[in-house]
Amino acid sequence: DTGVSQDPRHKITKRGQNVTFRCDPISEHNRLYWYRQTLGQGPEFLTYFQNEAQLEKSRLLSDRFSAERPKGSFSTLEIQRTEQGDSAMYLCASSFSFQETQYFGPGTRLLVL
C-alpha cells in the first residue's frame, strides 16, 4: 500500500491555458474524491466517484472543470481556460467504503499567472 499519489505536485500556467491533474488512489479503494483548498481555508469538496461513476458534483465545479475515472482506478481533473481564481491546492482522497476514512494525497498546487 503506497498511499494516494498525485501528479504533478506543482503546476504554473498562464491564464487561459488548460491543465490536467492525475490522482492514483489506494488500490483497493472504490471511492475517490477531489477537494480544492485555497490559502488559509479548509479543503472544499468538488466531486466524487464510486468506481467509474461520478455520483456528486459541487456547485464549485464550474463548466470549465471536468473529472473522469475511466476504469475505476486513477482519476484526472481537467481545468479548461484557467483563471487566476483557480489558483489553489487540489487534493485527491480515496476511501474503502461509505463514511470510511478518506486518505489524502500530497496535492497538486496550481498557480495561474
Q: Can you give the binding site for another protein, defined by CB under 8 A? A: 4, 6, 31, 33, 35, 40-45, 48, 55-56, 58, 91, 93, 98-99, 101-107, 109
* In the complex, minimum distance from the CB of residue 27 to another protein, in angstroms, rounded to a whole number: 18
Name the nearest CA neighbour of 24 among 5, 7, 10, 9. 5
Toward another protein, which CB reaches closer, 57 or 76?
57
One-letter identity of residue 37: Q
The verdict on whether omega for the bond into residue 43 sits within 30 degrees of 0, i.e. cis, is no
Toward another protein, which CB reaches closer, 71 or 98?
98
Name the nearest CA neighbour of 68 among 95, 38, 109, 34. 34
* In the complex, minimum distance from the CB of residue 9 to another protein, in angstroms, rounded to a whole number: 8
From the number of C-beta atoms within 10 Å of its C-beta (0-12, 13-18, 19+), residue 109 rates as: middle
Toward another protein, which CB reaches closer, 18 or 51?
51
Toward another protein, which CB reaches closer, 18 or 62?
62
* In the complex, minimum distance from the CB of residue 56 to another protein, in angstroms, rounded to a whole number: 6
